[in-house]
Amino acid sequence: MEKALPAIPAKRYFTIGEVGELCGVKPHVLRYWEQEFTQLRPMKRRGNRRYYQHHEVLMIRRIRDLLYDQGFTISGARNKMQEILQLERERRRNGEVLLDGVEVIETTDFESEHAEENAASTVSGSVTDRWLDLRRELFEIRSLLSLAH
């Protein structure tokens, strides 16, 4: 079942249909996964339309890999995603910056974990903002590089 997935375009937001094509799953599956994987939270706009960001597309690909290619159950994949995200959080807390596994870093959790620190210190806020901007740029560069291959 290991069919090569298309490269992710360098865009800021993706519709549910686009994500379905990029990840090889149908939109109803994506809506179901949102209920099962709490880390997956696309932005919703008018009419409850979902808009996914690059890191969420990568997370969906990881979930798809766990379920379809590695044979995990929903529960097992949920637990594995929790383990992966916890490991990434610990690495961030220890100051490690790794590009391996960067696709599973959960931006919303990172922002919420540091929301109090950001409110308490404008210096901390500006550092976090720069870090998030750099991270977004790295995702865009990675997407552009994958298009070149």
- The model's pLDDT over 131-149, given as tens digits with 9 standing for 90+, comes to 777 887 787 777 677 665 5
Query: Residue 48 region, left (φ>0) first, then alpha (ψ -120 to 50), else beta?
Result: left
- Domain hosting 64: range is 14-148
51, 102, 119, 138 from 114: Cα distances, Å: 24, 18, 9, 21
The answer to the question of residue 73 being in a domain is: yes
**Residue 45 bridge partners (DSSP):** 49
33: which 2 tokens? 């996964």
Stated pTM of the model: 0.62
Number of folded domains that form the chain: 1
The answer to the question of residue 19 being in a domain is: yes
The answer to the question of residue 3 being in a domain is: no
Query: Which CATH number fits the domain that encloses residue 103?
Result: 1.10.1660.10
Integer-rounded Cα radius of gyration of the chain: 16
Q: What is the pLDDT of residue 137?
A: 78
Inform me whether the pLDDT recorded for 108 exceeds 80: no
The model's pLDDT over 48-97, given as tens digits with 9 standing for 90+, comes to 899 999 999 999 999 999 999 999 999 999 999 999 888 888 888 887 65
- The dihedral sign for the CA sequence 60, 22, 68, 88: negative
The answer to the question of residue 2 being in a domain is: no
